[in-house]
């Protein structure tokens, strides 16, 4: 096959990802509701994965604080093999259920938290061990897998099947399965934050303005939600530590005088 034929085939195959997500809408919504409930109650969402699934989970958790202005420990990811496995494949790390139990205990997982396990096969021992241990602790669990009738789907309190089918490159679950898992976590975490009041309209009002680009975004958000000019928005943001929410409160209070 030519390079263009390979790309076209992969594009055609990826169409199944959206269909799989559409079929799983009910389960993803339930997971989002449980995640929002945990967050509002002061608890955490704990992702668990190995290999590609673990790296996808780590990425989603890492993006939550800057996007929604939350503490770094509210969404966390436990990756088989630890931090080293996030940038380097450690294939045998996924075979240890004991390691998952140790990692959950070190993270002080407790009732009220939510544990979401991801495994394309639905059989990864590290993920299954985490789900089983979490349930023993009275923690609500969700298992996301791409393989129907797999143990992860039946052992978790909620099983979410993302049925993406065989990969173009047989067994390479970083392709359709990985894409589906990334999109699934996008939906769960984003919906959870919307349900928790971290968004006004479709705007990230708790975004942390850590660089020039994000400061400019904050200015646009304040302008979109108020009658402030660009200069006024920039001034009130600067005087309120670049907090969009505080700037909005200030402008509301000023307008009411």
pLDDT digits (tens, 9 = 90+) for 200-227: 999 999 998 889 999 999 999 999 999 9
Do both 76 and 147 map to the same domain? Answer: yes
Residues of the chain short of pLDDT 50, as ranges, are none
Tell whether 176 and 226 lie within a shared domain.
Answer: no
Say if residue 230 is in the same domain as residue 179.
no
Note whether 54 and 168 are same-domain residues: yes
Number of domains in the chain: 2
Q: What is the CATH number of the domain that holds 36?
A: 3.40.50.10490
Position 81 scores a pLDDT of: 84
pLDDT reported for residue 254: 86
How much is the pLDDT for 256?
61
Range of the domain at 188: 3-195
94 is a catalytic site residue: yes
Residue 63 annotated among the catalytic residues of the structure = yes
Position 91 scores a pLDDT of 64
Q: Are residues 89 and 185 in the same domain?
A: yes
Q: What is the pLDDT of residue 85?
A: 60
From the candidates 33, 37, 63, 163, give the one annotated as an active-site residue: 63
List the CATH number of the domain containing 232.
1.10.8
Q: Are 15 and 164 in contact (CB under 8 A)?
A: no
Structure confidence at residue 82 (pLDDT): 76
> What pLDDT shows up at residue 88?
64
């Amino acid at each position: 096959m030519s390079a263009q034929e390979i790309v076209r085939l992969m594009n055609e195959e990826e169409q199944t990802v959206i269909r799989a997500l559409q079929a799983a809408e009910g389960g993803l919504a339930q997971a989002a509701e449980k995640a929002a409930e945990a967050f509002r109650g002061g608890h955490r969402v704990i992702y668990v994965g190995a290999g590609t699934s673990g790296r996808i989970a780590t990425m989603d958790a890492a993006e939550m604080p800057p996007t929604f202005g939350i503490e770094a420990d509210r969404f966390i990811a436990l990756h088989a093999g630890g931090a080293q496995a996030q940038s380097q494949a450690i294939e045998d790390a996924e075979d240890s259920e004991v390691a998952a139990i140790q990692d959950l205990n070190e993270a002080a997982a407790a009732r009220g938290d939510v544990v979401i396990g991801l495994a394309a096969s639905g059989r990864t021992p590290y993920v299954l061990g985490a789900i089983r241990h979490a349930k023993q602790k009275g923690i609500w669990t969700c298992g996301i897998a791409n393989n129907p009738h797999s143990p992860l789907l039946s052992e978790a309190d909620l099983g979410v099947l993302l049925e993406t089918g065989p990969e173009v490159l047989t067994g390479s679950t970083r392709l359709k399965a990985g894409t589906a898992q990334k999109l699934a976590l996008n939906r769960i975490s984003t919906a959870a934050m919307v349900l928790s009041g971290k968004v006004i309209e479709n705007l990230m009002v708790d975004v942390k303005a850590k660089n020039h680009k994000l400061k400019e975004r904050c200015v646009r958000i304040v302008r979109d939600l108020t009658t402030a000019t660009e200069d006024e928005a920039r001034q009130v943001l600067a005087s309120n530590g670049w907090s969009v929410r505080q700037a909005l409160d200030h402008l509301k209070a000023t307008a009411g005088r």
